[in-house]
Amino acid sequence: MSSSASATYLPKGLPIPVAEPDGLSAPYWAGLRQNRLLVQRCSHCQTWQFGPEWICHRCHAFDPEWVEVEPRGRIFSWERVWHPSHAALNQHGPYLVVLVEIPQAGGVRMVGNVLGDPLQEVLIGADAKGVFEHHPDSDPPYSLLQWHVVDAVRS
């Protein structure tokens, strides 16, 4: 793995995330480009919601508000991927994917990569801090939210 020598955790050439034609997730992707994590929160009933939807699943108010959230959370689950399922990953070696729960946003979860040694032990419950990973040279450009484990103590 070459994350120390590379600006991005995974090699270039993987699919590029864009908002849907109807623009549902456009605020989320635009936020990441500005180092901001935005999550939907209903302004009527305060319910958090991610991924986004046009309606609050609790009170059915339309167009939940986008609210900035501090990018920190807890490891909810993890996997270490060995088999390359895309040509861009051939010869790359293993990498770590995590599911991070964000307690200050109602416990919504986000999928990302854990930066650092791909063979590190990952503990469910460990604290993690978000790191914005920018892909400015991509066409179109985009940004991802990656994670550093900051506390390896199992909660």
Partner 1 sequence: MSGRSDRTLRGRVAVIGIGETEYYRHGASPDAEFKLALKAILAACNDARLDPRDIDGFASYSDDRSDASRLAAALGTHRLRTATMQWGGGGGGCCAAVANAAASIVAGLADCVVVFRSLAQGQYGRFGQTTGIDNISGEKAYLMPYGVLAPPQRFAMRVRRFMHDHGVRQEALRAIALASYHHAQANPRAVMHGKPLDPAKYDASRWIVEPFHLYDCCMENDGAAALVLVPEERAKDFRQKPVYVLGAAVGSGHRTGAIPHNSPLYASASFDTVALDLYRMAGLGPSDIGVVQSYENFTGGVVMALAEHGFFRPEEANDFFTLENLIAPSGRLPLNTSGGNLAECYMHGFGLVLEAVRQVRGTSSNQVARNDVAMVIGGPMVTPVSNLLLGSSATL
- Amino acid making up residue 53: E
Interacting positions 48-107 with partner 1 (CB under 8 A): 50-51, 57, 76-83, 85-89, 94-95, 97-99
Token pair for 150: 């900051």
CB of 26 to partner 1, least distance (A): 10
116 φ/ψ angles, rounded to the nearest 5 degrees: 105, -160
39 sits near partner 1 (criterion: CB under 8 A) = no
Q: Which strands sit side by side in the sheet containing 48-49, from one edge to the other?
A: 48-49, 37-41, 65-69
> What's the closest the beta carbon of residue 148 comes to partner 1, in angstroms?
15
Question: Which one, 63 or 135, has the nearer CB to partner 1?
Answer: 135
Angle at 151 between CA 79 and CA 50, to 5 degrees: 55
The answer to the question of residue 121 lying near partner 1 (CB under 8 A) is no
The answer to whether residue 13 forms part of the interface with partner 1 (CB under 8 A) is: yes
Question: Residue 37 interacts with partner 1 (CB under 8 A)?
Answer: no
Q: Which is nearer to partner 1, 4 or 22 (CB)?
A: 22
Q: What is the DSSP string of 26-37?
A: HHHHHHHHTT-E
Q: How many residues bind partner 1 (CB under 8 A)?
A: 43
Residue 128, phi then psi, degrees to nearest 5: -140, 150
Q: Please state the closest distance from residue 125 (CB atom) to partner 1, in A.
A: 9
**Residues 6 or more apart in contact with residue 96 via CB below 8 angstroms:** 78, 79, 80, 81, 113, 114, 118, 120, 122
**Interacting residue ranges for partner 1, rule: CB under 8 A:** 10, 13-21, 25, 29, 50-51, 57, 76-83, 85-89, 94-95, 97-99, 108-113, 124, 140, 142, 144
